[in-house]
Amino acid sequence: MSTQIQEQETEEQADEQPGEAVPAQQQRRMEQKREQAAEDDRQREAVESSLDGQETRTLKVFRYDPEVEGKKDPRFDEFVVPYRKGMTVLDALMWARDTYDSSLTFRHSCRQAICGSDALFINGSQRLGCKTQLSELSNPVRVEPLPHQEVVKDLVVDMQHFYDQMDAVEPFFKEEDVPDGLEEQRQSRENREKVKMSTRCIWCGACMSSCNIAAGDNEYLGPAAINKAYRFAMDEREGEALKQERLNILEQENGVWRCQTQFSCTNVCPKDIPLTEHIQELKREAVKNNLKFW
């Protein structure tokens, strides 16, 4: 890979200090790096030659590794992968990693659009790698980490802030809501239908990444957290006192009122949750909650 050769040369130049003799051990190490880079290029050329005559796709993948001197500057690497019907972006990334470069780093788990691990910025939009078909994308396919998140390495971003915002709305039923003994907490069919879509959130962070308000305001709860609060606030099994507590959290300056109704979160949600609609409904609840009649 040409980018790899450039990185090796950069490391070699950093190792050599002007006016100093290069120790034999260091010289052998630099020679090994050059040989390894050449071998990697030969293997890459052999793989690409073997794909002649096959239908292929080209991935342009964001690369960054702050812990390696020659890889601290972000760049894009290209990988040519064989295409087959039904192939997803995640399939292509895994093939590129296993064939070309084992250091290529990205998150993935269930591969069924349930775990939310592989949310990526693909051809300019937040998508799940395991759900996105290569056949739906123009070539080359540009794959980047989620915007507005700190990049840890390659396509992996730090999700801690997202998790903190989710935790801030207390996304669970509290113990005092559990009935004594074995009594069931019944929910009507109508109420289940009302909150059903909000329960589909897989914590992928795509909506948060797409939100311009969240990008400029770290205190804003964000669409995912507000949707999670909606799921419990609108559940008839939660008592009025607890619903009031949730509304008090959502009514704050960095709650529902920071939403500017851009619909970007709704547009990118891989589970088709009407996030903007849920936020607007919570705004109406907040207004009713503060109405006073004398």
| Whether 43 and 146 share a structural domain | yes
Q: Is residue 142 part of a domain?
A: yes
| Whether 122 and 164 share a structural domain | no
Q: Is residue 91 part of a domain?
A: yes
Q: Is residue 181 part of a domain?
A: no
Return the CATH number at 80.
Answer: 3.10.20.30
| Whether 166 and 120 share a structural domain | no
Q: Is the dihedral of CA 125, 130, 133, 139 positive or negative?
A: positive
For range 237-262, the mean pLDDT: 89
For range 174-183, the mean pLDDT: 65
43-47, 86-90, 197-201, 222-226: lowest mean pLDDT where?
A: 43-47
| Whether 121 and 70 share a structural domain | yes
Q: Is residue 21 part of a domain?
A: no
| Whether 129 and 237 share a structural domain | no
Residue 115 has pLDDT above 80, yes or no: yes
| Whether 105 and 211 share a structural domain | no
Structural domain tally of the chain?
A: 2
* Residue at 254: amino acid letter: N
> What does the alpha-carbon distance between residue 118 and residue 175 come to, in Å, rounded to a whole number?
33
**Mean pLDDT taken over the chain:** 87
> What does the alpha-carbon distance between residue 146 and residue 75 come to, in Å, rounded to a whole number?
15
194 contacts: CB under 8 Å, gap ≥ 6: 234
Give 221's pLDDT tier (boundaries 50, 70, 90): very high
| Whether 108 and 66 share a structural domain | yes
| Residue ranges making up the domain that contains 274 | 160-174+190-290
Query: Quick one: what percent of the chain has pLDDT higher than 90?
Result: 62
> What does the alpha-carbon distance between residue 5 and residue 59 come to, in Å, rounded to a whole number?
20
> What does the alpha-carbon distance between residue 210 and residue 266 come to, in Å, rounded to a whole number?
9
| Whether 126 and 164 share a structural domain | no
> What does the alpha-carbon distance between residue 245 and residue 252 come to, in Å, rounded to a whole number?
12
Return the CATH number at 250.
Answer: 1.10.1060.10
pLDDT in tens, 194-220: 999 999 999 999 999 999 999 989 999
